[in-house]
Amino acid sequence: MAKTFRVVFALVAVLVLVFAFSPAMPLREKPATPTVFAPDAAGRLVVDLVDDPSEADLEAIEKVLGADLNWVSPLSQDEGLAEGAVVDLDDAIALLAGNPAVEAVEPEMTMEAYGYPNDPEYAKQWHLKAMGAPDGWAQTPRGKGVIVAVIDTGVTQVDDLDQTKVLEGTSFVTGVKSAKDDNGHGTHVAGTIAQSTNNGKGVAGVAPDATILPVKVLSKQGFGTAAWIAAGIDFAVDEGAQVINLSLGGSYSSVIHVAIKKARAKGVIVVAAAGNSSREGVGYPGGLTETIGVSAVGPDGSLAPYSSWGKGVDIAAPGGNKQVAGGGVWQDTIDGKGGHAIMEFQGTSMATPHVAGAAAVLLSTGMKPDAVERVLLESADGGAWDPKYGYGKLNLASALGSSVDHGSALRFGLGALLAFLITQGVGIGGGFRGVAIAAAGWAAGGLFFLNWLPLPDHAALDLIARPLLAWPGGWASFPLWCSAVLPGAVVLSLGAFQRTRGAALGLTVGFGTHLLHAAATGALDPWWLGSYAKPWLVANGVICLVLALALSGAEKLERRQA
């Protein structure tokens, strides 16, 4: 018994170490403060009654208002949340002021968790909306932990890149030591990829939590040699870049091709512009099979008049068309006068970073580089390959939809595997093992596959499709919730009875698996913990697995005594 216990514990410890110390472990930042908009339905009121109200309590409030109210959801009835239409909002709020049965009352409002940013010039950025950037902000770590190399004229950390992590980088331009931008092109490109977003100033970027690596290979006039560019690609790979943005091009270069082949062999995604020739014939390196070649579309979604097209185009993205008022791509960049300004540029150079930013967002969800490239092309708005648009127009929202269950499926499998190993290690099989494995898989990943089925919208289905840790929604980041407190309560309650002990073991394993996975991927950042967030998740995940091992031991002992 002691030997098998040690074997199982060693297996669990190995998994913990793999999770905890993997080199690619982005820690997700706390979601930005929700943006509150004006009431979207005049006359609708939300009333928060004192907890655990009865139907009679709700009827009493209805009599005061002279209006019908309904519980917001059966799941929120215990919290006393009700809503309904009233004739006059101000009068209704005044009638309930000071009512001891009411905790809060307010007009119905619409909120966006962190989708639409508070950047004042975001309204100009039609291009971010067109490619689905808001879905990236709302559903993922937004590029956190992903290094994107901008191989260009350099990058200057202008005012609206203040919250973006910009590395020191380097320059390969003869006579220029700094990677700072002296042209404006590279900074504009970097802004599209990772402009600081929801910071109350300027504009927004596709992957605001990504890290920018500036690599200066183009001069102040915007020109550079193939040798400089090849050296820049090699440098970016050595510095750990996961995505390389090449908003540049010209004739075929074998040295650049070799550098790109080496980058791809190491799993780096290389995105390159198709060119601005206004005719068929894609420039290089955009035309290489190893790169994602990007053509440009304007605000109307059609090919921009300057964009190159033809063999080598893999995808189209917003590049702007300044023939249309406000139709360029807007970002903060240097202004040539020693300062900065939000400026509109156009070109396949501007289309390329939209794709690079989208790749960073997908990588930050845990997808592998090859899968990212495949999903970007398969989810693009288009059909068969087209010489103008490749496989279609970039659609990050659709790409995320294609990968939304990636993490849930992985957690489901890991939770079930750990439950199997623990029960196997102490020799418990049969129905107990089956219940434990099923409960662990569900608690870790939820019944994620329900989202694939043509089922009606229902609160109960939505709940069981989610993992246990995600049940509180926005409160899932509360430190005591993302800890071993709930599993401990499960062990003390359900674990005390033989009939429910298998379920208790599984729920505890699944919850712990999710905590460890969150530490590894950055999918969860407990509030207020800062740099202690990851150790917190790992420690509590380990505690959960130890509790599960204790339950398995108790079950084994009870069976022997019986």
Which residues participate in catalysis according to the annotation?
152, 185, 349
- Name the CA dihedral angle for 358, 363, 368, 371, rounded to a multiple of 10 degrees: -20
Contact (Cβ atoms closer than 8 angstroms) between residue 282 and residue 310: yes
- Buried b / exposed e over 345-384, threshold 16 CB at 10 Å, is bbbbbbbbbbbbbbbbbbbbbbbebebbbebbbebbbbee
CA 48 to chain CA centroid, Å, is 32
Q: How far apart are CA 538 and CA 482, in angstroms?
A: 11
Output the DSSP codes for 464-516: HHS-GGGTTGGGGG-TTTSSSHHHHHHHHHGGGSHHHHHHHHHHHHHHHHHHH
Please name the helix (run of DSSP H) or strand (run of DSSP E) that holds residue 90, with its range, or none.
Answer: helix 89-96
- Angle at which helix 406-425 crosses helix 2-21, to 10 degrees, equals 160
Give bridge partners of residue 107 from the DSSP assignment. 45
Output the DSSP codes for 154-200: -----GGGTTSEE---EE-STT------SSSHHHHHHHHHH---SSS
Please name the helix (run of DSSP H) or strand (run of DSSP E) that holds residue 269, with its range, or none.
Answer: strand 269-273
**Tokens 């460890």 sit on residue:** 516
Output the DSSP codes for 424-435: HHTT--HHHHHH
Please name the helix (run of DSSP H) or strand (run of DSSP E) that holds residue 7, with its range, or none.
Answer: helix 2-21
The number of helix segments (H) and strand segments (E) in the chain equals 17, 16
Closest CA to 245 of 261, 229, 266: 229
Q: What is the DSSP letter of 29?
A: P
Contact (Cβ atoms closer than 8 angstroms) between residue 342 and residue 332: yes
- Measured CA to CA in angstroms, residue 192 lies from 130, 181, 459 at distances of 13, 15, 38
